[in-house]
Structure 1
Amino acid sequence: MTTQTTAADTPNPQQNHTPTGLIPIPEGPARALATGGGILTIISTFMAWTWTSAFPGDLTVYGYPGGLQVLVLIAGILTTLLSLASYGIKGIRTLTPGGADAALKYASLAAFATTWYTIISISYQLGGLANLDPGGWVAAIATLASFTGALALPFERPHTYAVDTEDTGSEQFKHRARNALTIFKGAFAAEAPPTPRKLPDYVEILVIIAALAVGLIVFTYGIGTEYDELFIGFLVTVAFSFAALSKAGLVAQVSTYTARHRNITLAGAFAAAAAFPFTQSDDQYATIGVYILIFATVALGLNIVVGLAGLLDLGYVAFLGVGAYAASMVSGSPSSPFDVHLPFWGAILVGASASLIFGVLIGAPTLRLRGDYLAIVTLGFGEIFRLVAMNSDGTSGPDITNGSNGISSIPNLKILGFDFGLEHTIFGVTIGRFANYFFLMLLITFVVVLVFRRSENSRIGRAWVAIREDETAALAMGINGFRVKLIAFALGATLAGLAGTVQAHVTYTVTPEQYQFANTVPPNSAFLLAAVVLGGMGTISGPLVGAALLYLIPSKLSFLGDYQLFAFGLALVLLMRFRPEGLIPNRRRQLEFHEADLAPGDTPPPTVLSKTGA
């Protein structure tokens, strides 16, 4: 039996692999154009972009960047530094261990996209390009020149495929489009994998502290954006700037340092998070912060089930609801059918224990299923919980949950005389109600992280990974698959119940509508699963970052109205297309998704070896 090979499946023998750019400009002028454009971009941010302050941010001031100009200034500085590094200047070149040219393309794209978005917004809102001042025109030309110069930088073109002239027009178009996409992706690929540099321990710790400080500043700035145009510009700038730093090798460098100093990184991350309420002048954004922590803690619990054990749970939010309902019923609410008012430690034990019991009861009969069948059963459990809570109103069923009205008027927590519902002054800063709960939730998140970390590195954690990778092989090696999966299910449910206890007191009211499979307000099962996959399955920081993004972005995109979920879903599709392993993946999953990009000396993980037939 012979296999017919078409021209479209054969590398083009006449292809010229001499490094060239996407735009036919010599390398020297291209680098000069990118550098000059970056410098001119910086200068333009100190000029007025429009004559009226009607556009938010007040871009009418000379000598003082405001609003979106600040984002363009940051992107311009990054573009200039990377363009200087591309010349091989000693000292600056060390900032780009993975190469400067690909990083320069992303940095210039960040400046270009943010600038032109600002100009288009000014023209749309104010009624035409006539509302632009010289600074706006200078910024538009400078960013276009910088991006053009970056695209003209030479790169090693990947193999393309010859187009068969006997194919139909649609087939020829498909092959030409595939070749164009391959070349375009090659233009933005890093020149070489970064080589981590070993520095003195104190220097690496200082780098970690600096990275955490930058992360706190970026998060604080993003959560405090005052108008829609600024938040969209913030997303564009951060996305492309992060890609630039990643291609430059700095992200991998910092990741190497954090892996060497995990305890210091963990302590520093929680210290940076604890500093967040002190950066706020009121309780407005602390509200978002505490909900992000609740969402992130539940996502981390789901990460045990999905990321470590490989069990697809589509009804996980029900365990959050079980914990919230159980805690609210024993916290002194007048809507509770039980006349009980336990202290905080009692309520949190009741909430966590109730979720644990439900986890065992649901997991025991269902965990003998695998894959899609398990997912369907867990989805059914999530809906059953919501419907039971809805109908337990004394009319359609027993009077337990007060039906659709839920358990309301849940009193604030008090721990050792500290009332979380009152304002307190700490270090001269007034901390409001939501900031109090933020600190409590941060402590609970810290406990959950410790539990996840200890579980991951334990014998049971290695058994979970074995089950996830190949359950049949794990069973053949003597692992009790049912018991191991049940432990993961029960532990994940307990952690969700722990977060649900605090959620009940933060929201004052617990209703069935809060625990659906999918709605526009997280947390829900769909968003929780997306947070784990988006952030990076099997890691600690991945679901925390993913949950923060998935909660913050929809809350800031509310101005899109009916198109909010469309824009959000489109962003997720693009992210999963270009970074399927997640934002912060573990090394195994990264190698699985990028087997073709393995560096010399890298060994594929066992799952990759099995795919290649080795």
Structure 2
Amino acid sequence: MTTQNPLVPLPAPIARIATLAGAAAALAGTFLPWTWTSEFPGDLTVTGYPGGLQVLTLTGAVLTLLFTLTGYGIPGLRWLIPGGTNSPVRLLALAVLGTTGYAMGAISYELGGVVNLEPGAWVSGIGALVAVIASLALPSDVALPAEGPEPTGWQRFRNSLAAPSAPRARALPGWAEILVIAGAFGLALYLFTYGIDIPTEDSEQFIGFLITAVLAFTALTRAGLIARITALTSKHRNVTLTAALVAAFCFPFTQNTAEYALIGANILIFATVALGLNVVVGLAGLLDLGYVAFLGVGAYTAALVSGAPLSAIGVQFPFWAAVLTGAVVSLIFGVLIGAPTLRLRGDYLAIVTLGFGEIFRVTVNNLNGNSGPDLTNGSQGIPSIPDLNLFGIDFGLTHELGPFTLSRPANYYLLMLVVTAVVVLVFRRSGDSRIGRAWVAIREDETAATAMGINAFRLKLLAFALGATLAGLAGTVQAHVNYTVTPEQYQFAGSVPPNSAFLLAAVILGGMGTLSGPFVGAALLYLIPAKLQFMQDYQLFLFGIALVLLMRFRPEGLVADRRKQLEFHETDQLDVPKPRKPDETDAGIAKAGA
């Protein structure tokens, strides 16, 4: 048991009190003005009413106080730190310092010097700095209590001052576990809504939001709280899926403008296509670098049969028929591309799929009536795709639903949510089936899987065809959401997702082979560029840095299954046997035993 950290020579009780004092000061500073002018985004001039970046500092300070108090064994807070470590306190204090320091630097840069900082900024900044320094003196390891009666009252408080502990939480009843899952998804919806509602021109607040969110998530992971919630979601999978769909359904009703509902619809399209790619890459282990072409096949097919004025076919299918047509055509292309190429492995397969993606883009660009048949209108694409009309509902119009108003993007968001639910059902059922287990076996070792009687080629072709079908399904909705389809939308890499590089990154970032991982990765990769448009010229550079950091610190992805965690963080090597002492011969050991 460690009571003093050698990094900062300060006794643990004093360090904990100093951490509380610093976090309290940072909290109090948010109720004071940080600057004198409202020109800085967020209006940080009001006394007694935090706004903008002050809200993020306040949130981080409250979490720091909460997790610091858990070290004193307060009964109501024991559930927060099942990991029994002080690392969450350090990370949360660092989040407060990072957000506050960034706010002070941004105010000084944009308004012309530190003279524009009011006392509230200094109080929060100094308090956050004190909390970080004091948290470094907290014990590195916190011992969990041994089995037996738990101390109560003054004895527990006195013991916690000397060596803070995190008592093991008792098992919750079933109804409480369901409430925790519902609360977790409700909180996730609130955080997502808060981030997406930040105005695009207010990039300072969004950067502060990212700083707080990343460090707070890391703190909750180190505390073991994320693992505990993950265990609950694994235990109640049907409840988890229902809660996720309900939270996603509620999103458009939280939006007052069409801009952010459109971002939500595009995120769902991006995430659904990424989930289809997860079948190919995450389950079957096939590196597909041209997957966005299947999205384009579905989108172009839907555009051609939508009744658009510039459609070369000149027909108009009902939406259900257009969806089936787009999915079937994508399936056919998946089989035609996969049949001659899936006997390749590794880099060779990646090169072939990359070539298919580029061939698709060049082909639709040349089908303009000059270089080839007049089918896709070349580089101009197929514009003016009409809005859908389902069950008498015109998706191009706004609709009143009680006190809520659903805009055009909100209508398509809800439609895409239905498509997403279908894709999730297909992914879950296929992943848990005998075929899904065979895909995983092929991913881990194709030679061994073949030796065990698995028809690797047939199952890989099935995965390729299924992934193409799911991408084509999403493409049919994308064509109507964007009004037009053009070849430039379906590149290998570009500044605007979805493209093949970003789709693959969403799967890797979120977690290969998982259900929720592609959604997390797609949301991050789409939302961050949409909010930080001033960094568009450096987007790919920053994107590469983020991937390098991810591969270094969390190679299994943000949402990882147990198999990936064991693969990247545990070794299969056996312990090296200790050498025997000179008198430890077999005969001597037998004699001693006798």
Following superposition of structure 1 onto structure 2, how do residues 193-342 of structure 1 map, counting pairs within 5 Å? 197-226=170-199, 227-342=202-317
Q: Distance in 2 between matches of 1:427 and 1:472?
A: 59
The answer for the alignment partner of 1:135 in structure 2 is 120
For the 8 Å contact 2:495–2:536, the answer to whether it is kept is no
Q: Determine helix, strand or coil for the equivalent of 1:430.
A: strand
The answer for the alignment partner of 1:542 in structure 2 is 517
1:399 to 351, 366, 374: 374
Q: Determine helix, strand or coil for the equivalent of 1:92.
A: helix
The answer for the alignment partner of 1:160 in structure 2 is none
Q: Determine helix, strand or coil for the equivalent of 2:76.
A: coil
Q: Distance in 2 between matches of 1:262 and 1:346?
A: 32
The answer for the alignment partner of 1:60 in structure 2 is 45
Relative to 1, partners in 2 of residues 1:193 and 1:574: Cα closer, same or farther, differing over 3 Å?
Answer: farther
Q: Distance in 2 between matches of 1:220 and 1:415?
A: 28
Q: Does 1:73 align with 2:58?
A: yes
For the 8 Å contact 1:554–1:568, the answer to whether it is kept is no
Q: Distance in 2 between matches of 1:573 and 1:490?
A: 31
One-letter amino acid matched to 1:41: A
Following superposition of structure 1 onto structure 2, how do residues 526-537 of structure 1 map, counting pairs within 5 Å? 526-537=501-512
Following superposition of structure 1 onto structure 2, how do residues 469-508 of structure 1 map, counting pairs within 5 Å? 469-508=444-483
Provide structure 2 residue ranges, at least 5 long, that are not aligned to the other structure. Answer: 143-163, 577-594
The answer for the alignment partner of 1:25 in structure 2 is 10
For the 8 Å contact 1:410–1:509, the answer to whether it is kept is yes
The answer for the alignment partner of 2:537 in structure 1 is 562
Q: Distance in 1 between matches of 2:136 and 2:48?
A: 31
For the 8 Å contact 2:369–2:375, the answer to whether it is kept is yes
Cα offset, 1:151, TM superposition: 1.2
Relative to 1, partners in 2 of residues 1:572 and 1:449: Cα closer, same or farther, differing over 3 Å?
Answer: same
Q: Distance in 1 between matches of 2:53 and 2:31?
A: 12
For the 8 Å contact 2:556–2:568, the answer to whether it is kept is yes
1:449 to 407, 424, 433: 424
For the 8 Å contact 1:19–1:156, the answer to whether it is kept is no
Q: Distance in 2 between matches of 1:482 and 1:192?
A: 54
Q: Determine helix, strand or coil for the equivalent of 2:405.
A: strand
The answer for the alignment partner of 2:549 in structure 1 is 574
The answer for the alignment partner of 1:10 in structure 2 is none
Q: Distance in 1 between matches of 2:167 and 2:525?
A: 30
1:345 to 291, 315, 320: 320
Cα offset, 1:22, TM superposition: 2.1
2:82 to 97, 110, 115: 97
Cα offset, 1:154, TM superposition: 2.7
1:109 to 60, 84, 94: 94
Give CA deviations for 1:471-501 in whole Å, capped at 9, x if unaligned: 0000000000000000000000000000000
Provide structure 1 residue ranges, at least 5 long, that are not aligned to the other structure. Answer: 1-16, 158-190, 597-607
One-letter amino acid matched to 1:456: G
Cα offset, 1:193, TM superposition: 12
Relative to 1, partners in 2 of residues 1:193 and 1:449: Cα closer, same or farther, differing over 3 Å?
Answer: farther
Cα offset, 1:101, TM superposition: 0.5
What is the percentage of aligned positions where both structures have the same residue? 64
The answer for the alignment partner of 1:185 in structure 2 is none
Q: Please give the TM-score of this superposition, normalised by the length of structure 1.
A: 0.87
Q: Distance in 2 between matches of 1:100 and 1:39?
A: 21
The answer for the alignment partner of 2:155 in structure 1 is none
Q: Distance in 1 between matches of 2:475 and 2:170?
A: 43
Cα offset, 1:609, TM superposition: 6.9
For the 8 Å contact 2:73–2:166, the answer to whether it is kept is no
Give CA deviations for 1:108-156 in whole Å, capped at 9, x if unaligned: 0110100000001111111111111111110111000000011122326
For the 8 Å contact 2:71–2:166, the answer to whether it is kept is no
The answer for the alignment partner of 1:375 in structure 2 is 350
2:361 to 386, 390, 402: 386
Q: Distance in 2 between matches of 1:483 and 1:214?
A: 43
Q: Distance in 2 between matches of 1:522 and 1:610?
A: 45
Q: Determine helix, strand or coil for the equivalent of 2:559.
A: coil
Cα offset, 1:562, TM superposition: 1.8
The answer for the alignment partner of 1:46 in structure 2 is 31
Relative to 1, partners in 2 of residues 1:32 and 1:610: Cα closer, same or farther, differing over 3 Å?
Answer: closer
The answer for the alignment partner of 1:37 in structure 2 is 22
Relative to 1, partners in 2 of residues 1:348 and 1:577: Cα closer, same or farther, differing over 3 Å?
Answer: same
Cα offset, 1:569, TM superposition: 2.7
Q: Determine helix, strand or coil for the equivalent of 2:72.
A: coil
Q: Distance in 2 between matches of 1:140 and 1:321?
A: 50
Q: Determine helix, strand or coil for the equivalent of 2:400.
A: strand
Higher mean C-alpha displacement, 361-370 vs 28-37: 28-37
One-letter amino acid matched to 2:543: F
TM-align CA RMSD: 2.1
Q: Distance in 2 between matches of 1:533 and 1:564?
A: 18
Q: Please give the TM-score of this superposition, normalised by the length of structure 2.
A: 0.90
Q: Determine helix, strand or coil for the equivalent of 1:91.
A: helix
Q: Does 1:126 align with 2:111?
A: yes
Q: Distance in 2 between matches of 1:214 and 1:611?
A: 44
Q: Determine helix, strand or coil for the equivalent of 1:275.
A: helix
Q: Distance in 1 between matches of 2:574 and 2:313?
A: 57
Relative to 1, partners in 2 of residues 1:354 and 1:570: Cα closer, same or farther, differing over 3 Å?
Answer: same
For the 8 Å contact 1:197–1:253, the answer to whether it is kept is no
For the 8 Å contact 1:99–1:247, the answer to whether it is kept is no
Relative to 1, partners in 2 of residues 1:502 and 1:115: Cα closer, same or farther, differing over 3 Å?
Answer: same
Q: Determine helix, strand or coil for the equivalent of 1:154.
A: coil
Relative to 1, partners in 2 of residues 1:273 and 1:395: Cα closer, same or farther, differing over 3 Å?
Answer: same
Cα offset, 1:100, TM superposition: 4.0
Q: Distance in 2 between matches of 1:70 and 1:481?
A: 54
For the 8 Å contact 1:31–1:83, the answer to whether it is kept is yes
One-letter amino acid matched to 1:340: V
For the 8 Å contact 1:196–1:253, the answer to whether it is kept is no
Q: Distance in 2 between matches of 1:574 and 1:344?
A: 43
Q: Distance in 1 between matches of 2:106 and 2:10?
A: 31
Q: Distance in 2 between matches of 1:556 and 1:196?
A: 40
2:338 to 363, 377, 395: 363
The answer for the alignment partner of 1:84 in structure 2 is 69
Relative to 1, partners in 2 of residues 1:611 and 1:477: Cα closer, same or farther, differing over 3 Å?
Answer: farther
Q: Distance in 1 between matches of 2:236 and 2:167?
A: 19
Q: Distance in 1 between matches of 2:276 and 2:536?
A: 31
The answer for the alignment partner of 1:420 in structure 2 is 395
For the 8 Å contact 2:306–2:322, the answer to whether it is kept is yes
Higher mean C-alpha displacement, 80-89 vs 117-126: 80-89
Q: Determine helix, strand or coil for the equivalent of 1:425.
A: strand
Relative to 1, partners in 2 of residues 1:464 and 1:53: Cα closer, same or farther, differing over 3 Å?
Answer: same
Relative to 1, partners in 2 of residues 1:298 and 1:192: Cα closer, same or farther, differing over 3 Å?
Answer: farther
For the 8 Å contact 2:97–2:132, the answer to whether it is kept is yes
Cα offset, 1:610, TM superposition: 10
For the 8 Å contact 2:71–2:165, the answer to whether it is kept is no
Relative to 1, partners in 2 of residues 1:324 and 1:58: Cα closer, same or farther, differing over 3 Å?
Answer: same
Q: Distance in 2 between matches of 1:314 and 1:323?
A: 17
The answer for the alignment partner of 1:466 in structure 2 is 441
Cα offset, 1:451, TM superposition: 0.2
